[in-house]
Amino acid sequence: MSPILEVETLGRRFGAFTALEGISAAFGKERITAIIGPNGAGKSTFFNLLSGALKPTAGSLRFDGRDMTRVPQARFAQLGIARSYQITNVFPRLTAHENVRTAMQARTSRYNFWGRRDALPDLANRADELLADVGLLSRRDRPAASLAHGEQRALEIGIALASDPKLLLLDEPTAGMGPEETKDMIALLRRLGETRTILLVEHKMKMILGLSERILVLHHGRLIADGSPAEIQADREVRRVYLGQ
């Protein structure tokens, strides 16, 4: 199987400052890959490049066999890359169902959705299926603002899934969650990872070690390690710069 995503000597500078340099890696073999590193290591910059929000100043990016290096951001979502942000990104007054359906409509309108009224029930059913996937079907008719924090994060993932992405980029999906909500989110990510490639930025080491098959470690904008959780835990440089040992 060819990788879904490939980056080659990818880099990004801001003026004279190099935020990311020489990142080469391919993704798609593992279901869930974690990106870790201290504050300022370049994790968000890396995600911004992968989601098209930023353009690289060096290197290249391929997705699903296509060169994405100079492709505009809007195309990234259309071609199958979805991202959820650290800050929740739902319409607070719409219900959970309406949030997901709106996200689906935004996508299907390209295919002249409004001209095909028969597509409506289908869309509603698919929105409910997605809500079930992220464990929110029982919250279907609740305004998003009334959902618990963890449920809003799950809804955000549901919205990201509305575009049926092949690659899901998640920035700290368990940020601000308590232990119960974190447990539910981990179970959700495991299930989602069965059918698509997930890259996530996370700080909680225990969660990362239990969830991901592969870990990339960034430090000062460079990739200092890339391997299985066991390999990363045994890596001397990682222990020195990241785990403080």
Closer by beta carbon to ligand ADP, 45 or else 182: 45
Q: Write the burial class of residue 33 (CB in 10 Å: 0-12 exposed, 13-18 middle, 19+ buried).
A: buried
Q: Rule CB under 6 A: is residue 84 a binding residue for ligand ADP? A: no
Question: Residue 40's binding partner, choosing from ligand ADP, Mg ion, none, with beta-carbon cut-off 5 to 8 A by kind?
Answer: ligand ADP
Distance CA 83, CA 67 (A): 19
- Among 44, 51, 108, 174, interactor with Mg ion by CB under 5 A: 44
In angstroms, give the least distance from the CB of 10 to Mg ion: 17
Q: Residue 49 and residue 10: Cα distance in Å, rounded?
A: 9
Scanning 13-21, 117-125, 150-158, 205-213 for contacts with ligand ADP by CB under 6 A, the matching segment is: 13-21
Q: Which of 23, 31, 43, 197 binds ligand ADP (CB under 6 A)?
A: 43
d(C-alpha 86, C-alpha 166), whole Å: 20
Which residue type, as a one-letter code, is found at position 105?
Answer: Q
| CA–CA distance, 233 with 11 (Å, rounded to integer) | 26
Q: Which does 45 bind (CB under 5 to 8 A by kind): ligand ADP, Mg ion, none?
A: ligand ADP
Amino acid at position 124, single letter: A
d(CA 97, CA 85): 20
39 binds, among Mg ion, ligand ADP, none (CB under 5 to 8 A by kind): ligand ADP
- Is residue 23 within the footprint of ligand ADP (CB under 6 A)? no
16 lies in the site for ligand ADP, by CB under 6 A? no
Rounded-to-integer distance, Cα 135 and Cα 123, Å? 18
- Name the site residues for Mg ion (rule: CB under 5 A): 43-44
